[in-house]
A and B are shown apart, each in its own frame.
With several copies, the nearest count.
Chain A
Amino acid sequence: MQRPQGLTRELMAMRVAQEFEDGMTVNLGIGLPTLVSSFLPEGRRVTLQSENGILGFGGISDGDFDQDLINAGGQPITLLPGASFCDSATSFGMIRGGHIDIAVLGGLQMSETGDLANWFVPARGGGSVGGAMDLAVGARKLIVVMEHTTREGEARILRECTYPLTGQGCVDLVVTDLAVIDVTPDGLVLREVAPGVTSEQVAALTDAPLRVPNSVAEMRL
């Protein structure tokens, strides 16, 4: 089967941002998740937290570089009125203590029970953990955003992860270039497909069992 054309990275980020509700505090992981900050839904007050000790920042800054004002990915950012700084223990207290409504992380693999692997690449024999393990267990809701398959077309959504884990049973929702899938106590449930993609195509590119309801909506972007 030909792999269908999926969403661009920007559209994936846009779809993730729709999950944010008014008043929520959100942590965006390094890489693709960071893009989500450019697509925050208008009219909803969403507060961004960064694990290096910032609450309430805005977008990426294109002004003069301030070494002391960066997000967890090292990118320069802007501050919004009412922002605050704290030390890393307090910041991870927010995360581990369940005060972050949603964390968005990139993924390498996830399992049908919501295990996540996103920090170590066996083929390269390396990787670094950063704050991912804390975000995985600490956020009230964890959204993973990743390509549905590897560049070689291998499934990333598996019965069990083959890569070293970031966290067990931590993923609540995965947004890929092809689909939106809920992790439920009964396993993975397909919620939406990307425009032009069929449920059958998604299921075929998913190694884990995937429950496909009678009617699956198309993503609205």
Chain B
Amino acid sequence: MVARVYDTPAEALEGIEDGISLMIGGFVTAGLPTNLLEALFERGTRGITAITNALNSDTVLDRMCEAGRVDGLVATFAIRASSGKKSHFETLYRAGKVTLEMVPQGTFAERIRAGGAGIAGFLTRTGVGTPLAEGKLEMEVDGETYLLVRGLTADVAFIRAHRADTLGNLVYRRAARNFNPLMATAAGLVIAEVDEIVEPGAIEPEQVHTPAIFVDRMVQAPALPVSWDG
């Protein structure tokens, strides 16, 4: 499919309904689609299951939790082991008002890649003998124990890239890549916010990180500063 370019983040969300599963790219401050998240907050969408590496306090996602828009979270980092500022998510989680599926980060990345590539599951040693192995099938291969872990897909993915062409080819900047190219493959509707949109041919064919086939919608929007309290 050829991607469609929208004028504003709000317009890029047309048709998005309550109850979606939503992948959100980014790692700490790098490569977060904050414009799209702010627009989604503004839109009032509810019943979201968010699939994202981390939920930190003082982020738009945590404000969405506070506003009761989030039903559940699939993440690698959401509850701090150390004391410090508690997120709204943590408060809600401890009150049993939101669900949390904690996934080791490498397994999280691989599950999303698998989901996008038609791989229903894979065998990893990560998590064997830990609480995160609960409910998972164990298999022996060559005398080593592995967990069978399922691929992961979502209804919608919000990603952030640096440069796009009008077809939807994407290039990421520095460590803003992280989960974005993976999530671009694994959702029914993929919406990218980008710093700039250029004509086809302006990106070298060898330098495309996410081929246009994966991207449905785009909007040009500068990266917003992301707060992070360490």
Bitwise interface map of B from 147 to 174 toward A, beta carbon under 8 Å scored 1, else 0: 0000000000000000001110100111
- The answer to the question of A82 belonging to the interface, with a C-beta cut-off of 8 Å to chain B, is yes
CB proximity to B under 8 Å, residues A52-97: 52-56, 66-70, 72-75, 79-97
Say yes or no: B106 contacts A84, CB within 8 Å: no
Indicate whether A131 sits within 8 Å of B106 (C-beta atoms), given known contacts A67-B30, A67-B226, A120-B131. yes
Q: How many residues of B contact A (CB 8 A)?
A: 79
Say yes or no: B130 contacts A164, CB within 8 Å: yes
**A177 shortest CB reach to chain B, Å:** 19
**A94 shortest CB reach to chain B, Å:** 6
B225 nearest in chain A by CB position: A67
Q: In the complex, which residues of chain B have a beta carbon less than 8 angstroms from the beta carbon of A90?
A: 211
Picked from A54, A82, A98, the residue with its CB within 8 Å of the CB of B212 is A82
Indicate whether A74 sits within 8 Å of B228 (C-beta atoms), given known contacts A82-B169, A84-B169, A119-B81. yes
- The answer to the question of B208 belonging to the interface, with a C-beta cut-off of 8 Å to chain A, is yes
Say yes or no: A23 contacts B129, CB within 8 Å: no
Say yes or no: B81 contacts A52, CB within 8 Å: no
- The answer to the question of A49 belonging to the interface, with a C-beta cut-off of 8 Å to chain B, is yes
Say yes or no: B175 contacts A69, CB within 8 Å: yes
Say yes or no: A99 contacts B213, CB within 8 Å: yes
Picked from B30, B102, B200, the residue with its CB within 8 Å of the CB of A68 is B30
Indicate whether A96 sits within 8 Å of B105 (C-beta atoms), given known contacts A85-B174, A120-B131, A133-B130. no
**A68 shortest CB reach to chain B, Å:** 4
Complex-state Cα separation, A80 to B205, whole angstroms: 10
Picked from B31, B75, B165, B181, the residue with its CB within 8 Å of the CB of A82 is B165
Complex-state Cα separation, A172 to B75, whole angstroms: 28
Binding site for A on B (CB under 8 A): 1-2, 27-31, 53-54, 75-83, 90, 94, 102-110, 112-113, 115-119, 124-132, 165-167, 169, 172-182, 185-186, 199-201, 203, 205-206, 208-209, 211-214, 223, 225-226, 228, 230
* Closest CB pairs A-B (n = 5): A82-B200, A92-B106, A134-B106, A81-B201, A96-B118
Please, could you name 6 A-B residue pairs with CB atoms under 8 Å apart, sorted by A?
Answer: A69-B175, A72-B27, A95-B118, A133-B132, A134-B106, A168-B128
